[in-house]
A and B are shown apart, each in its own frame.
Chain A
Amino acid sequence: MDVSLIYRIAGIGILITILNIFLRQAGREEQAQMLSLAGVIIVLLSLLSLIVELFSEVEKAFWW
């Protein structure tokens, strides 16, 4: 069971949330929004490999 991806996602979340707060305090709403969008996309890209693994493993376990 490889849990490192979960903690990586949580870490990216914490980092981007903090940076977001800084940008918002500095009055750069636009950039804060772009930053959070970029973070979501990065997280989703790392989730993609897990989803691909899920489908291949399901196919392997339930092969007929």
Chain B
Amino acid sequence: MAQLAKVIGLGVVVTLLMTFFKKQSSEYAVAANVAVVLVIFLFMLQPLGQVIELFRQLSHTAQMSDLYLGIVIRAIAMAYLAGLGAQVSKDAGSESIAGMIELAGKVMILILALPVVAGILDAILGILP
């Protein structure tokens, strides 16, 4: 709860501060925006790490294959990073760069998931007589 209050307070304060900059020099508004996004994301990484740790223990208890959960977790991380970058450049007003960042994230996640697709094909070939 206190962490959420910190994040909300920081966001609101810097948003108010940015309204001053936007008229005069928007480049500092963009930089401060990026800094706020990064700080809040870094702040949220620790609780996120706890959740990931729980998932890891659960998969260990269920004796799941490490490969697949690892791919899922990596895909989540890549999606977070790509989304963050895309949001920042969308805020700065360059929609096309944001679109390209999102495209790169999608392609990279797809490449990451290729072993899973191969595994499905293998399983299907195993079932077929």
Q: Chain A's nearest CB lies how many Å from the CB of B110? A: 18
A5 and B80 in contact (CB under 8 A), knowing A40-B27, A62-B52?
no
Q: CB-nearest residue of chain B relative to A59?
A: B77
Chain B count of residues within 8 A CB distance of the other chain: 36
Chain A residues whose C-beta falls within 8 Å of the C-beta of B25 in the assembled complex: 13, 16-17, 20, 36
Minimum CB–CB distance for B77 against chain A, Å: 4
Q: Given that A10-B17, A13-B25, A64-B70 are contacting pairs, would A58 and B32 also be in contact in the complex, using a CB cutoff of 8 Å?
A: no
Chain A 7-41 against B: per-residue CB contact (8 Å), 1 yes, 0 no? 00110110011001000000000000000100110
Q: Is B60 an interface residue (CB 8 A)?
A: no
A6-B14, A6-B39, A17-B25 known; A62 vs B76 contact (CB < 8 Å): yes
Q: Would you list which residues of chain B between 39 and 57 have a CB under 8 Å from chain A?
A: 39-43, 45-46, 48-49, 52
Q: Tell me, in angstroms, the Cα distance from A6 to B18 when the chains sit together.
A: 11
Q: How many residues of A contact B (CB 8 A)?
A: 29
Contacts of A61 in B (CB 8 A): 45-46, 48-49, 52, 77
Residue B90, interface by CB 8 Å? no
The contact of B74 among A1, A39, A44, A64, by CB within 8 Å, is A64
Q: How far is the CA of A57 from the CA of B38 in the complex (A)?
A: 11
Least CB distance, A17 to chain B, in whole angstroms = 5
Q: Which residues of B contact A57 (CB under 8 A)?
A: 42, 45
Would you call A10 and B70 a contact (CB within 8 A)?
no
**Inter-subunit contact A6/B41 (CB<8 Å):** no
B34 at the interface (CB under 8 A from A): yes
Chain B proximity of A46: nearest CB distance (Å): 8
A-B contact pairs, 6 of them (CB 8 A): A1-B43, A10-B32, A39-B28, A43-B28, A47-B31, A61-B77
